[in-house]
Amino acid sequence: MLWHMKRRYTLLLLLPVTLVFLSLLSLQTGIHSKVINGLKNQRLEKSKEPLPLPRHPIYKPAPTQRAIPIVDNFPRAAMAVSPSDLPPVPSWNRPPTPHVTEKTPLFISFTRNWLLLQQVVVSYIAAGWPPEDIYVVENTGTFNANKEKKLTLQNPSYIDYHRLTTIFGINVLTPPTLLSFAQLQNYYLSTSVEKGWDYFFWGHMDVVALATEDISPPYRSLYIRAVEHLRENLAPGYARDDQGREGRWAIRFFAYDWLALVNVHTFLEVGGWDTMIPYYGTDCDMHERLGMAKLKSENGNVGLIYDTGASLPDLEILYRRKPRVHQAELLVGSDMMHEKRKLPDLIDLNDTVEDEFNSPAWEELHQAMEELQYAKQHTETGFGRNDWQLRQAGGEGEPFYRHPEGFNIAIEMIIETGRRIFDEKWGHRGCDLRGVGLSAGDAWRVEHDWDRPEGKQ
């Protein structure tokens, strides 16, 4: 009995001691956790603090290949003091005097690669387009730097403003900032509205325009054939709709939109270009909306329009002067290609004698352009389709300089975003919007057709 009482008494004494011990243990654990957490937070705070000076960025590897400096592709124009120092336009292509009654403005936009811009301008002039009707849109975002001669030949944004306006006699328009493709198209429309033009032509800068000399008579220059298509579009009764309204046409393509004739009023009627889709895909969006509005679009032929990513070594050949030496091995598109081709001698062209119409020299020029186009469009040649956009890589330290490769990367990122916007706008991937049953009122209202369960239409 006494033993049990002692045991009970001992347990009663141990109970409060145990409770006190457990309380102290819990307190210690809490303090320990707070200390540990405090240390961790202190480390995090320290990690947010700037690293000690000096600090240096980690640079990407430098390019292994540098762009080869370009050489101007029209030496005679570079030395010219006045338009009379240039070769004359071939007699069979000279624009009519006086000017045709229709206005024939031609927009060509430029962002980079002077060689290709100069080439396309000279090709249209030599094909008979009146220089005063050609409008180069200097879409470089460099403000007046080119006009004030602050950029040099190796700069991707370089143009020879004096040569374009004074020697070639064309017009240069400079938007207030760098524009995307869709914004450029709206710029063409707004400029036309401002100048009172009901229509205009526009073309890509990476093309060459040649008149077709080997066709059955009567011969008409590329320019005159373009005017004939324009007159057809403006003729009474053309593109009459079900309500009897005339002139319900939107666009006429010549080699798709490498050259195109645009109706200002119908483009504005459907809302102009969607600038939220800045590059690829915006043409699908625009042309499909024109079709949804039942506006007429068709194709035409004015001559040869070549898609090129390289330049002829000397643009004088486009003026069709008679060569003293019939054949000579020269580099064609020497700024990109490294294969020798036979062409009329570009160095010993006779200054005064015009070549014969549809001569072997024209056929050789035609074949050379076919090869340049093939090289651009087929990757097995070793050249990418848009490599010409990175041909110039100089200009560092000049006003408004952009890193050429960085600029290209940024454009590609914007292009990809624009594609996703197009897909989201129409709920469809691809240009066949009308083909899958979409209409103008469906924009931004349609679920993704690529996400639909199988069998759901």
Q: How confident is the model at residue 57 (pLDDT cuts 50, 70, 90)?
A: confident
Beta carbons of 311 and 73 less than 8 angstroms apart: yes
Q: With 0-12 CB in 10 A as exposed, 13-18 as middle and 19+ as buried, what is 341? A: middle
∠ CA 222-224-229, rounded to 5°? 95
pLDDT value at residue 344: 42
User: Hey, is 240 helix, strand or coil?
Assistant: coil
Q: Quick one: which of 211, 231, 214, 286 has its CA closest to 103?
A: 231
The H or E element spanning position 261 is strand 259-263
Higher pLDDT: 165 or 389? It is 165
Q: Answer whether 364's CB lies under 8 Å from 342's CB.
A: yes
pLDDT reported for residue 206? 94
Supply the DSSP symbol for 354: E
CA-closest candidate to residue 418, choices 283, 268, 240, 323: 283
pLDDT band at 386 (very low <50, low <70, confident <90, very high): low
Angstrom distances, CA of residue 435 to CA of 206, 257, 291, 328: 31, 21, 11, 52
Residue listed under structure tokens 């073309």: 203
Calculated CA dihedral for residues 346, 350, 353, 354, nearest 10 degrees: 0
* Contact assessment for residue 95 and residue 128, using Cβ atoms and an 8 Å cutoff: yes
Give the model's pLDDT for residue 451: 82
Residue 2's pLDDT is what?
A: 47
Question: Looking at residue 334, what is its pLDDT?
Answer: 43
Task: Name the pTM for this structure.
Answer: 0.83
**Which residues, other chains included, contact 317 with Cβ-Cβ below 8 Å and sequence gap of 6+?**
343, 344, 346, 349, 365
* The predicted structure's pLDDT at residue 327: 35
Write down the pLDDT at residue 323. Answer: 73
d(CA 276, CA 78): 40
- Whether the CB-CB separation of 160 and 114 falls below 8 Å is answered with yes
3-state secondary structure 17-51: HHHHHHHHHHHHHHHHHHHHHHHHHHHHHHHHCCC
**CA–CA distance, 430 with 284 (Å, rounded to integer):** 8
The pLDDT tens digits of the residues spanning 402-455 come to: 988 888 899 999 999 999 999 999 999 999 999 999 999 999 999 999 987 665
What's the DSSP call for residue 94? P
Per-residue pLDDT, averaged over 162-166, amounts to 98
Q: Which residue has the tokens 């005064």?
A: 352
Q: Which pLDDT band holds residue 3 (cuts at 50, 70, 90)?
A: very low
pLDDT tens digits along 112-124: 999 999 999 999 9
**What's the mean pLDDT when you consider all of the chain?**
85
Instruction: Count CB atoms within 10 A of the CB of residue 339.
Output: 10
182 pLDDT higher than 80 = yes
- Going from the C-alpha of 22 to that of each of 8, 9, 13, 269, the distances in angstroms are 21, 21, 15, 83
Three-class SS state of 218: coil
Indicate the range of 38-47, 181-190, 365-374, 440-449 predicted with least confidence.
38-47
DSSP 373: H
Angle at 168 between CA 162 and CA 173, to 5 degrees: 60
Per-residue pLDDT of 126-163, as tens digits, reads: 999 999 999 999 999 999 999 999 999 999 999 999 99
The H or E element spanning position 350 is strand 349-354
For residue 90, pLDDT beyond 50: yes
Q: Give the residue, 215 or 278, on which the prediction is more confident.
A: 278
Distance CA 28, CA 34 (A): 10
Q: What is the DSSP string of 159-170?
A: --HHIIIIIS--
> Tens digits of per-residue pLDDT, 290-343?
999 999 999 999 999 999 988 999 999 999 998 765 433 443 444 444 343 444
